Amino acid sequence: MATRNNDETNGYTFQWKIENISHCWLKPFERIESPIFIADTLESTKWSLWLYPLGQTNEKENVSFFLHREDCSGPGVIEINYQLAFLNNDGSFLKEFTIRRRGFERKREWGFREFINRERVFFTEREAFLPEDTLTLQCTLWKKDETCAKPKHSHARTVFTVNRRSFVWKIDAFSTLKPGLKNRLRDGFIDFDLVLNEELGFEKKIIININSFDQRMKYFSFKTSIIDWEGKKENCRINKCFASDLKEGALSPMLLFPDKLMEHSRQYLPNDSLSLDCEYVYSTETNSYEIFGCGIIYPNSIEEVTESKKKHYVAKEKSHITSALIDDLKSMYNDSICNDTELRTSTKTFPAHKGILSARSPVFRRMFTNDMKEKNCGHVDISDLEDDTVHRMLTYVYTDSLEDLQLDSAFKLYAAADKYEILSLKTRCSSFMKENLCPTKACEVLFLADQHQDVDLKCFVQDYILEHDKEVFGSQEWKDFMDTNLKLAANIMYLKVYPE
């Protein structure tokens, strides 16, 4: 066995977290690829991990997991030992395989088609494998004739973009509902049709037919609950489907049948009205990467990142390195620790810190450093902003995070970010609006982009309207928009007739 200096690293450990994995849109034989990492202790060879959440067979019984060697400048074949593992929240192994002396050619992968049963990961042992819906995978590589005593470490994160919506659907005069007739509700870019289905010889059923006309949607999960006369919710059904299902119309049968509802009408049908609490989650093609920790590592879409450059590519969540600092800053804001100024709306006062506001906003910096009234009076009047918007803005200023953002609150937060030149917040709000754009909100976002001279957002919304012209032009929102914003509406119609 080869000898080595005790201070030398002789292996490489790469840890990869996949967030919101339950909502990924991949089908059997489709994979998630990790960012590429460079094992500089193994002749600077390049590697990535491949995960098939629904496996490489049509049975969908197992998760497949592979180590892939990228096309790189290292030797034509390199012989290594490697270990693939799923980890618990505390870093301990939940499932692990170790392979010794495996030869890897360039652009070749080795691993396990049946790494672990899907039922264990996503259902029976979900709390262990998927805390906060995050799967943690790890790969360790080391030289074939050695023991992996001191590997170099790096970390990466892939985040599946998830959007959540909810609404209460009230169906009046339920007892008069006729078989086959649709009770339709449209929420954004999705149609929900409640139908009483009556087949000869079978019990009546309530079916919800779901249709989407948004091409970006890849995965959809729909949960319905009945709201009883006391306002309590009783879970009825959770339905999951993919893009192809939504185009054809996905059916979501409810577990409570009409006859049983009528038998318990006092509980479920007060005033002959059925109230359904509906929640749905959908994901799109967008996912993002966060890279942090030591070692040499980079995502597929960017140039190589080396340790000496000390660059970090952040996608969504804070890294472990900065979490303590962000928690402390959040505490400073929430607990008003040593605050030296206040932001005042017409109804509420928000304690804050001049230094932090100045670091995040050039507008606040000018207020507190130049000879302006805000420098000495101890407060800033912002009566044009709502309390909720100011709270969200300050939460972002202190923690770089957005709390439960919805489209309506995103509009107001975007305007506030533009006013105070918090450019990163403006960009985040713009991205959120693009991701959650729907036919009924397109006009409002277009007007907002035009008001704030945001060319990028405006062009995006124009393209969206042209792609969804039937849904947008047929909406009441478009008719109102033509009355109030004739020039913008005319420009859209011009682009439809004379595309650039």
Contact 278, 13 (CB under 8 A): no
Q: Which of 73-87, 148-162, 414-428 is predicted least confidently? A: 148-162
Asked whether residue 36 carries a pLDDT value surpassing 80, the answer given is yes
CA dihedral 208, 209, 214, 219 (to 10 degrees): 70
Contact 272, 163 (CB under 8 A): no
Q: So what's the pLDDT on residue 329?
A: 79
Q: Give, to the nearest 10 degrees, the angle between helix 423-435 and helix 387-399.
A: 110
Give the residue with greater pLDDT, 72 vs 210.
72
Report for 26-40, 180-194, 200-214: range of highest mean pLDDT: 26-40
Closest-CA residue to 403 (of 393, 411, 412): 393
pLDDT, average across residues 342-365? 90
Which stretches within 243-306 are classed as H helix?
243-248, 258-263, 265-268
Beta strands in 259-340 (DSSP E): 274-292, 296-298
Q: Assign 32 to helix, strand or coil.
A: strand
Domains identified in the chain and CATH numbers:
11-159 (2.60.210.10), 163-283 (2.60.210.10), 315-423 (3.30.710.10), 437-499 (1.25.40.420)
Residues 6+ apart with CB under 8 A from 325: none
Q: Assign 349 to helix, strand or coil.
A: strand
Residue carrying the six token digits 């990924």? 24
The HSE-up count of residue 124 (CA atoms within 13 Å, CB side) is 5
Report for 239-243, 399-403, 436-440: range of highest mean pLDDT: 436-440
- Residue 2's pLDDT band, with cuts at 50, 70 and 90, is very low
Q: Distance (Å, rounded) from C-alpha 356 to C-alpha 226?
A: 46
Cα-Cα end-to-end distance for the chain = 67
Q: So what's the pLDDT on residue 8?
A: 60
Q: So what's the pLDDT on residue 213?
A: 63
Q: Which of 98-107, 183-192, 373-382, 481-490 is predicted least confidently? A: 183-192
How far CA 84 is from CA of 19, 139, 370, in Å, comes to: 19, 5, 58
Tokens of 494: 């011009």
Q: Distance (Å, rounded) from C-alpha 268 to C-alpha 274?
A: 7
Give the residue with greater pLDDT, 319 vs 442.
442
Q: So what's the pLDDT on residue 321?
A: 42
pLDDT, average across residues 176-183? 76
Per-residue pLDDT tens digits for 83-127: 999 999 888 999 999 999 899 999 999 999 999 999 999 989 999
Asked whether residue 285 carries a pLDDT value surpassing 70, the answer given is no
pLDDT, average across residues 59-81? 90
Give the residue with greater pLDDT, 140 vs 199.
140
Contact 296, 304 (CB under 8 A): yes
How far CA 401 is from CA of 131, 175, 191, 334, 395, in Å, comes to: 20, 47, 32, 14, 7
Residues forming a β-bridge with 143:
80
pLDDT, average across residues 60-74? 91
Contact 207, 252 (CB under 8 A): yes
Rounded to the nearest integer, the mean pLDDT of the chain is 80
Burial category of 177 from C-beta neighbours within 10 Å (exposed 0-12, middle 13-18, buried 19 and up): middle
Residue type, 345: T
